[in-house]
């Protein structure tokens, strides 16, 4: 079973953009009790590379079209800054879900918002979704179960 990921997204102008995003009104029968004020993340990709300096590449987020979709367009247009926290859940030994990992971005901003509407004839099992690309000032990672954590700042990491 794949891990579940939820995103809490706080904008410096619009406030908590993720409010109501995982509610029934927002995403229909995909809604999740207990996560109503978080955005469901259906895919996440991120990379950092290093030659002489470390390079932080934008984080890619795939999400259903939901209540936040219009607000994200406004945020991109206005270059709004975000605080973003991704919560990762896995199946525990008892069979329930446990939050085990967090990824945080500070001073994040959108660099791209794309809507993807799969071909309904060839891919009728796929739902429409959005692809977001976010750059950020800093990133931190925390493994809640093992107690390990780290961070990186995206400005001029030359050693």
Residue 73's φ and ψ, nearest 5 degrees, are: -60, -45
Q: Is position 60 within any domain?
A: yes
Q: Cβ(102)–Cβ(87) under 8 Å?
A: yes
Q: Is position 103 within any domain?
A: yes
Q: Is position 158 within any domain?
A: no
Q: Which two tokens stand for residue 3?
A: 């891990």
**How would you classify residue 155: left for phi > 0, otherwise alpha for psi between -120 and 50, otherwise beta?**
beta
Q: Is position 131 within any domain?
A: yes
Q: What is the pLDDT of residues 50-65, one digit of tens each?
A: 888 888 999 999 999 9
Predicted TM-score (pTM) of this structure: 0.91
Structural domains of the chain, count: 1
Helix (H), strand (E) at residue 6: strand 4-11
Q: Which residue has the tokens 């919560």?
A: 87
In order along its 159 residues, the chain shows pLDDT tens digits of: 578 999 999 999 999 999 999 999 999 998 888 999 999 999 999 999 988 888 899 999 999 999 999 999 999 999 999 999 999 999 988 988 999 999 999 999 999 999 998 877 777 777 889 999 999 999 999 999 999 999 999 875 444
Q: Is position 26 within any domain?
A: yes
Question: What's the CATH number where 17 sits?
Answer: 2.30.110.20
Look up the domain containing 84 and give its range: 4-153
Q: Could you give the dihedral angle defined by the CA atoms of residues 101, 106, 109 and 111, in that order, rounded to the nearest 10 degrees? A: -60
Q: Is position 159 within any domain?
A: no
Q: Is position 113 within any domain?
A: yes
Cα gap 114→57, rounded to integer Å: 17
Q: Is position 136 within any domain?
A: yes
């Amino acid at each position: 079973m794949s891990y579940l990921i939820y995103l809490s997204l706080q904008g410096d102008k619009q406030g908590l953009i993720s409010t109501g995003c995982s509610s029934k009104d927002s995403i229909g029968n995909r809604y999740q009790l207990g996560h109503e004020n978080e955005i469901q993340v259906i895919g996440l990709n991120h990379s950092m590379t290093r030659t002489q300096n470390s390079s932080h590449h934008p984080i890619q987020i795939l999400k259903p079209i939901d209540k936040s979709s219009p607000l994200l367009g406004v945020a991109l247009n206005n270059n709004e800054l975000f605080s973003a926290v991704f919560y990762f859940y896995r199946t525990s030994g008892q069979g329930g879900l446990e939050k085990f990992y967090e990824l945080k971005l500070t001073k994040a901003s959108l660099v791209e918002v794309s809507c993807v509407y799969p071909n309904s004839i060839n891919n009728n099992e796929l739902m429409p979704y959005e692809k977001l690309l976010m750059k950020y000032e800093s990133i931190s990672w925390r493994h809640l179960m093992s107690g390990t954590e780290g961070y990186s700042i995206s400005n001029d990491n030359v050693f």
